Amino acid sequence: MPDTLRNEPDVLTVPESRNFRSYQGFLRACRDYMTGPLLGDMKEYYQEALENETLEPSTDDVMRILDDSIEFQIYSWANRHLQRLKYQDPELGVFATVNAHRESLIAELDAAASDDPECLQLNPNIEFPEYYKMVDFHQHTGGVWSDELDGVAYEFGRRTTNAVDVDPDVLYRMSYSQFPDRRYEKVLDWGTGHGAGLIEWQKLHPESECHGVDLSAPCLKLAHKRAKELGLRMHFSQQDVEHLEYDDNTFDAVFHLFMFHELPPVTLKNALREVLRVLKPGGIFVGPEIGLSGKDPFMDVVWLSHAWSNNEPFSAQWFKFDIERAANDVGFSRVTIEPFKPMYESNGESKPNDGRWRFYTLEK
């Protein structure tokens, strides 16, 4: 949560103890170690194992080498359990900290939701798709939809996903910087979650009428509250991306941030069809997504294993999904797949473009 929001009286803030900050800071440092030096050690182990090999390693070879690596085993434990400890510690976890202020937080969300029904449309009768109920994505217990404070916990939990010196909203700006330079009168944030991405868009594009959809009511309530806190009039609606409730030809752009890998392949194709319908002629569907590099089998196997252990079971299917074919089948006129340039530029020379971070533009 940005420091600038802390002392604003109307801003929903989760009070946090010194111990909570220390504990979560420690977990973040462990995560930084996992994705930095430990990953480097894994790579070194892998390269040494391959030293005398002349043939290109198969996926199976890479898996067998990594499976015997202590570094990989600890990396995998950390990937699975740092997330658990972040959320679940009985005293200092995100859930415990949020729940300690349960009544007041719910009251704040409800108060904001009740006075502006046009900007927050929830559907208590919505039928959640089965895949959505089956998976607690990113190991968020119960999913981000089953408890009234799941949106708050989801937003609050960003603190151990991002390094302390990194603005958690920088990824949104990176993505928007790669959009075609044109006027966007009406936009849709596809899987808007706690709304931070759409709010960032509105700050950069005050001319846009902003809409965000998500299945999670607790997330949408928080998104609405955050927009109100900043005096922004935005529209959040509880909808399923397979069955959008907007008229045909409504939006100049529909955008997302790393949403493709969270959807089953058949759902994704159906959702593409819906996006096409609600886009204006010439409108675009844009956003970054991660894929396998095809150039670095080591990182590809690490990433696949990471996805399974972090409860992202549709990642492996996304990696096999033929988006150009699916987009053409449903009627998009053009599909462009480029490197997600700002991501590589921000990494500097230490992390060269390995082809995993891509930016997809689908044109109607």
Give which of 286, 307, 285, 299 is closest to 355, Cα–Cα.
Answer: 299
DSSP 34: I
- Burial environment of residue 48 by CB neighbours within 10 A (0 to 12, 13 to 18, 19 or more): exposed
- Name the residue nearer to another protein (CB basis): 81 or 101: 81
- Name the residue nearer to another protein (CB basis): 59 or 346: 59
Cα 132 to its chain centre, rounded Å, is 15
Residues contacting residue 148 through CB under 8 Å, at least 6 positions apart = 106, 109, 218
Closest separation between CB of residue 89 and another protein, Å?
8
Q: How many residues bind another protein (CB under 8 A)?
A: 57
- Name the residue nearer to another protein (CB basis): 11 or 63: 63
Measured CA to CA, the distance from residue 284 to residue 347 in angstroms comes to 27
- Name the residue nearer to another protein (CB basis): 253 or 290: 290
Give which of 154, 166, 172 is closest to 210, Cα–Cα.
Answer: 172
Provide the token pair at 294.
Answer: 């095809």
In the window 157-216, what residues touch another protein (CB under 8 A)? Answer: none
Closest separation between CB of residue 302 and another protein, Å?
9
Residues 188, 216: contact at Cβ < 8 Å? no
In the window 17-46, what residues touch another protein (CB under 8 A)? Answer: none
DSSP 224: H
Closest separation between CB of residue 175 and another protein, Å?
25
Closest separation between CB of residue 282 and another protein, Å?
26
Closest separation between CB of residue 84 and another protein, Å?
4
Closest separation between CB of residue 242 and another protein, Å?
12
Measured CA to CA, the distance from residue 185 to residue 202 in angstroms comes to 11
Residues 24, 98: contact at Cβ < 8 Å? no
Q: What is the DSSP string of 64-105?
A: HHHHT-HHHHHHHHHHHHHHHHHHH-TTTSHHHHHHTTHHHH
In the window 53-92, what residues touch another protein (CB under 8 A)? Answer: 59-60, 63-64, 66-68, 70, 72-74, 76-77, 80-81, 83-84, 87-91
Closest separation between CB of residue 213 and another protein, Å?
20
User: Judged by CB under 8 A, does residue 328 bind another protein?
Assistant: no
Closest separation between CB of residue 210 and another protein, Å?
30
Cα 22 to its chain centre, rounded Å, is 25
Closest separation between CB of residue 2 and another protein, Å?
27
Q: Tell me, residue by residue from 112 to 151, as one string, x for binding to another protein by CB under 8 A and - for no binding.
A: ------------------xx-xxxx-xxxxx---------
Give which of 176, 363, 195 is closest to 279, Cα–Cα.
Answer: 363
- Name the residue nearer to another protein (CB basis): 83 or 238: 83
CA dihedral 34, 35, 40, 45 (to 10 degrees): 60
In the window 247-306, what residues touch another protein (CB under 8 A)? Answer: 264-269, 292, 294, 297, 300-301, 304-305
Q: Tell me, residue by residue from 295 to 324, as one string, x for binding to another protein by CB under 8 A and - for no binding.
A: --x--xx--xx--xx-x-xx-xx--xxx--
Residues 323, 335: contact at Cβ < 8 Å? yes
Q: Residue numbers of the site for another protein (CB under 8 A)?
A: 59-60, 63-64, 66-68, 70, 72-74, 76-77, 80-81, 83-84, 87-91, 130-131, 133-136, 138-142, 264-269, 292, 294, 297, 300-301, 304-305, 308-309, 311, 313-314, 316-317, 320-322, 326
